[in-house]
A = this chain, B = another copy of it.
Amino acid sequence: MAEKQKSPRTTPKVVDVARIAGVSTATVSRVLNDPEKVSQTTRDAVLAAVKETGYRVNRAARNLRTNSSRSILALVPNLSNPFFSNILSGLERELNAEDYSLLVTDSGDALLTSDQMDRLISAGQADGLIVLDGSISRSDFATVQADNPSCPVVFACEWVEDVKCPSVRADNVGGVQKLVDHLWENGHRRFGHVMGPASNVLAQVRRDAFMSRVQELGGETRQNWILAGDFSIAAGRAAADQIGVMRDTPTAWICASDQIAFGLISGLTRAGFNVPTDMSVTGFDNIEMAEVFNPPLTTIHQSRNQMGHSAARTMLELIRGQKSDARVHILPVHLVDRDSTGPVPC
């Protein structure tokens, strides 16, 4: 108490705090990590010392000793997709609240995927992996898991088929059904689809749901009305080009993402079609842009924040050993009816 070091030449350490509080380093550590184990008076003294010195634990030291990093790696297929950024916000908020940090890696370049993950996880830089990328191959993924058997993995939004990990996702099948039904009620009978990347689960699930629902209702779709894509605006434009040269087209297009829908509508408009009077177009995600697009986009809303939140919670449970096994958590979605869909043209 009497001493005061005016110039903290060096950052304070546990020993400094301990000295000032008149206790051992073990006690300081306990106060910081397991307050109940320490008597009220000592605790107060230590906390006062902490405040006085402005002490902060050195993460590297703690991490080394506890063999953990208190940070989680998120693997995102494409950072520039606003849909993912939104989920990341949710993740970050939740993790920070529990004193975890969020490490972000854009797997977009693909070249890294498996190597990247190894680099971060094996090196003990991340305690867990939240995968938002469903394009990772099963085998790549298996390799990483084999290398890091103890690293908890949670899938969010997308996932890898046949991998037993907790997964948080939207009701993709239900969403697509709502879209098809909505168009059906508007009199449409001939449907087309612009897919996400063929290797992506989400793209596959949505396409399959599309095909079954159309079939169930007795509508029509054809092989060449199902166009390849990759969730991007560019894919939508490319699809429009293909449609431009089709002899016979559907009256309604269901796109695997909002971005595809924007590109598609833009391309169709440029090609002289009017949406929705000539063709109806729907998206999936309900990103903020959907509302102000011209025409405003009919789409499926999924709650991004809740997805991020839920994924983060699941991860934390996993880390803390409250095994929430290979639970699949499916979040409800709802249709947002706007102006990109209308009655079938006569």
Which A residues have a C-beta under 8 Å from some C-beta of B? 11, 54, 56-61, 63-64, 67, 69, 71, 79-82, 84-86, 88-89, 92-93, 96, 101-106, 108-109, 112, 116, 118-120, 122-125, 147, 233, 236-237, 262-263, 265-267, 269, 288-289, 291-296
Within 8 Å by CB of A124, from B54, B59, B92, B116, lies B59
Contacts of A119 in B (CB 8 A): 56
User: Smallest Cβ distance from A105 to chain B, in angstroms?
Assistant: 7
* CB-based contact A80/B82 at 8 Å: yes
* CB-based contact B294/A265 at 8 Å: yes
* CB-based contact A89/B106 at 8 Å: yes
Q: By CB atoms of chain B within 10 A, which of A58, A80, A293 has the most?
A: A80
Q: How far is the CA of A263 from the CA of B263 in the complex (A)?
A: 18
Number of copies: 2
Chain B, residue nearest A118 (CB): B56
Contacts of A56 in B (CB 8 A): 118-119, 122-123
* CB-based contact B69/A79 at 8 Å: no
Contacts of A79 in B (CB 8 A): 85-86, 88-89, 92
User: Smallest Cβ distance from A276 to chain B, in angstroms?
Assistant: 13
* CB-based contact B103/A102 at 8 Å: yes
Q: How far is the CA of A58 from the CA of B121 in the complex (A)?
A: 10
* CB-based contact B122/A105 at 8 Å: no
Q: How far is the CA of A88 from the CA of B106 in the complex (A)?
A: 9
User: Smallest Cβ distance from A92 to chain B, in angstroms?
Assistant: 6
Q: Interface residues of A: mostly helix, strand, loop or mixed?
A: helix
- CB pairs A–B below 8 angstroms (6 shown): A56-B119, A60-B64, A63-B63, A102-B104, A237-B292, A269-B294
* CB-based contact A59/B288 at 8 Å: no
User: Smallest Cβ distance from A86 to chain B, in angstroms?
Assistant: 5
User: Smallest Cβ distance from A331 to chain B, in angstroms?
Assistant: 18
Within 8 Å by CB of A233, from B105, B116, B292, lies B292
Which 10 A-B residue pairs are closest in the complex by CB-CB distance?
A266-B292, A60-B63, A60-B64, A294-B294, A79-B85, A80-B85, A56-B122, A59-B123, A104-B104, A80-B86
Contacts of A101 in B (CB 8 A): 103, 120, 125
Q: How far is the CA of A236 from the CA of B101 in the complex (A)?
A: 33
Given contacts A60-B63, A101-B103, A103-B101, contact A266 B294 (CB under 8 A): yes
Contacts of A59 in B (CB 8 A): 63, 69, 123-125
User: Smallest Cβ distance from A255 to chain B, in angstroms?
Assistant: 13
Q: How far is the CA of A81 from the CA of B288 in the complex (A)?
A: 10
Contacts of A69 in B (CB 8 A): 59-60
Contacts of A116 in B (CB 8 A): 96
* CB-based contact B262/A292 at 8 Å: yes
